[in-house]
Amino acid sequence: MSTPVIGVLALQGDVREHLVALAAADAVARPVRRPDELAEVDGLVLPGGESTTISKLAVLFGVMEPLRARVRDGMPVYGTCAGLIMLADKILDPRSGQETIGGIDMIVRRNAFGRQNESFEAAVDVKGVPGEPVEGVFIRAPWVESVGAQAEVLAEHDGHIVAVRQGNALATSFHPELTGDHRVHSLFVDMVRAYRTRESL
């Protein structure tokens, strides 16, 4: 079967790092900004960055509704940090004008890991990622306050939920794209492959 084509929403944030990680995980990776570009990918990554900025730019570029429609349709999507916030059905402390794509029945708290600890690294055991724990890079990271019945918690740190999956939507508070360890991206590429196989049956 041909290689899956995975987009990275390229409005703001660490787009290039995700493109590199996806290519290393055997996907064809390309930036996505416009609805016509979104229509051409089999799956999408929502990068880390600043979730209010990404939200406002998505509305401005006319891509917010098409994003919601594709996520509703079941397109695999993976959000890191700000991307996790974009996938939350509800933000506890949204900034004014901040919207989300939604897709995961969870409530998130932005910048939850606190000021004095704005950035840190910690070993995180992620369900579905075989072998050693993943090196979790947390940068002004959100945590997930609670999840609904459909969402599966994949990892916790310090008693807080930091990785979640619901159907074809995957989200982590931390940034595997910054570590050179591509196992989480490989998990996502596998989700995209499985989705394509189902779609073509």
Residues with catalytic roles: 81, 175, 177
Nearest distance from residue 27's CB to ligand GLN, in Å? 21
Q: Is 50 annotated as a binding residue?
A: yes
Contacts of 8 (CB under 8 A, 6+ apart): 15, 18, 19, 22, 29, 30, 31, 32, 44, 45, 47
- Is residue 58 within the footprint of ligand GLN (CB under 6 A)? no
Residues 63-122 that bind ligand GLN (CB under 6 A): 81-82, 85, 110-111
Which of residues 85 and 195 has its CB atom nearest to ligand GLN in the complex?
85
Distances 115 to 25, 86, 119, 141, 157 between C-alpha atoms, Å: 33, 21, 9, 10, 17
Contacts of 11 (CB under 8 A, 6+ apart): 33, 53, 54, 57, 58, 61, 63
- Is residue 16 within the footprint of ligand GLN (CB under 6 A)? no
- Is residue 50 within the footprint of ligand GLN (CB under 6 A)? yes
- Amino acid at position 191, single letter: M
Question: 154 by DSSP, 3-state: which?
Answer: strand
Q: Is 156 annotated as a binding residue?
A: no
Please give the size of the binding site for ligand GLN, defined by CB under 6 A.
Answer: 11
- Is residue 134 within the footprint of ligand GLN (CB under 6 A)? no
Q: Is 2 annotated as a binding residue?
A: no
**Residues near ligand GLN, by CB under 6 A:** 48-51, 81-82, 85, 110-111, 139-140
